[in-house]
Chains A and B, each alone.
Chain A
Amino acid sequence: MINSFEDILDLCINRIMQGEALDEVVKDYPEHKEQLEQLLVIMTDMYDSTLPQIRDEAFASTLINVGKELQRQKEQFSDDVEESPSFKWRWFFNFPSPAWQRGVVFALVLIFVSWGTVNISAASFPGDILYPIKIVTEKVRFYLTPNSEGKAELRLTFSEERTQELVQYFEENGELDTQLIQAMLNEAALAVHDISKLPKPQRTVYVSKLQHLNAYNKDILENFRDKAPQHQKQALEKAIETCGSRMKWMDDMKYERVPPNEWCSWNH
């Protein structure tokens, strides 16, 4: 039940926000017409106002800082769980030097952390302290890339990157990182989405690129067949099988036996 002018005003505002014209709305309340009109004109001016623009640099900087905070959280979590002996920082603050020297060293550390982290993280691998920043940086690059061609290219790059990380991880640990295998396959699958939006000549080029990448990924995985630990063999075979079935799909894509708007159903 509507009791007051505030209720009527609110009702009118909601109707306008749902798409009704101001005149239409006001017509239903002739006894309040003048007052309603005055207030609703201001409301519509505000509602129709242009939205402030977001700077890409500010957004990217936030994503990077979120990545750093996430890393801190994860380190804290693993410290709590494992109580592993951690690196002692106390020596750093206790060394007997004048305050200004410590200040200079601290400033250098800050510069290193803020400017250098992103570049250094590019060479990091799973398990490295900077690896999450590398992943977040990749996402920033992806979000800032405006067109489908650029996005498709990045997806292919990321998939290849995961493959290299997979090889490196195996060399260092003697076992496979199944999450990396999944990430490698996912990036390739996501590339299809962006490739399907490209005009025909580029589409064909990118399907070929994807075909090569998929064949490369399959080769790498097949090389692990004899070396992978027994408990990982099943997951490995499944991934090889996925690559194999994708090869067939990609022939259909290349010759467009399947229309591009149906390519996304490909995934696995």
Chain B
Amino acid sequence: MEKTKRLDIPENVVKRARLLDEDALATLVKESYPFIFRYLYYRTNLKEDAEDLTNDVFVRMVSAIEKQKGNFIAWLFRIAKNVLIDYYRKKGGKKETSLNEVQEITAAKDKNNRDSLYPEDIKKMLQFLTDDQKEVITLKFIEGHSNEEIARSINKSVGAVKLLQFRALTTLRDVLKREMK
């Protein structure tokens, strides 16, 4: 079942990118793009918004890469998180998901006998979670990060990550139970 390919960037590529080497930067963008896009896709309302924000992340990456220190992947996801914060600040609020929309998810899944949820379904479900819970769920189940990496990314302990993971799944279970009644 091991599905999620982890983002893995060799250190020598990052080193060359810090010197503004074009090939290295193109490799970074090519390798990281799907991961950053997915992360933003699940946190925004429109696919086009996620594309624009992904673009912003990589432009910011190039403008700051010379001063980059420490773990590159964690650093890149921090940029993505900041871009997302700016997006919500400008937008002034988030779209709420109604229970009707969750009913649509389960109904469609049953009706079409689908084996897996679609990306839009996951996105709707995530709307019921807090920001930290969303962060943990997307980084772990979608991006395949370890608890330690997530803890560094959200500035919390590994224990807190486990608790957030538990609470997120419990919330989703309760939401699904409510709509099935």
Contact = CB atoms under 8 A, between A and B. Distances in A.
B33 A136 contact: no
B2 interface: yes
Contact of A13 (B51, B122, B165): B165
B90 interface: no
A43 B170 CA distance: 10
Q: Which residue, of B22, B41, B117, B118, has the highest number of chain A Cβ atoms within 10 A?
A: B22
A16 interface: yes
Interface string A19-44: 11100000000000000001100111
A65 B33 CA distance: 13
A42 B165 contact: no
A91 to B, nearest CB: 27
Interface residues of B, number: 50
A5 B119 contact: no
Interface stretch (A70-78, A169-177, A225-233): A70-78
Contact of A66 (B38, B58, B144, B162): B58
Interface stretch (A53-61, A112-120, A156-164, A235-243): A53-61
Given A7-B162, A9-B165, A73-B20, A48 B3 contact: yes
Contacts of B140: 13
Contacts of A49: 116-119, 121-122, 142
Chain A interface residue bracket vs B: 35 or more
Given A46-B141, A48-B116, A62 B58 contact: yes
B147 A135 contact: no
Contacts of B1: 16-21, 44, 47-48
A42 B141 CA distance: 11
A66 B29 contact: yes
Contact of B142 (A6, A16, A46): A46
Contacts of B121: 49
Contacts of A251: none
Contacts of A52: 37-38, 41, 47, 50, 119
B55 A47 contact: no
Interface stretch (B59-67, B73-81, B95-103): B59-67
Given A50-B117, A52-B37, A66-B29, A136 B22 contact: yes
A218 to B, nearest CB: 25
B20 A77 contact: yes
Given A49-B118, A67-B22, 20 more contacts: A9-B162, A16-B1, A43-B169, A47-B1, A48-B115, A49-B117, A49-B122, A50-B119, A51-B38, A52-B50, A59-B33, A62-B29, A62-B33, A62-B54, A65-B55, A65-B59, A66-B59, A66-B62, A70-B22, A136-B22
Interface of A: 5-7, 9-10, 13, 16-21, 38-39, 42-52, 54-55, 58-59, 61-63, 65-67, 69-70, 72-74, 77, 132, 135-136, 139, 143
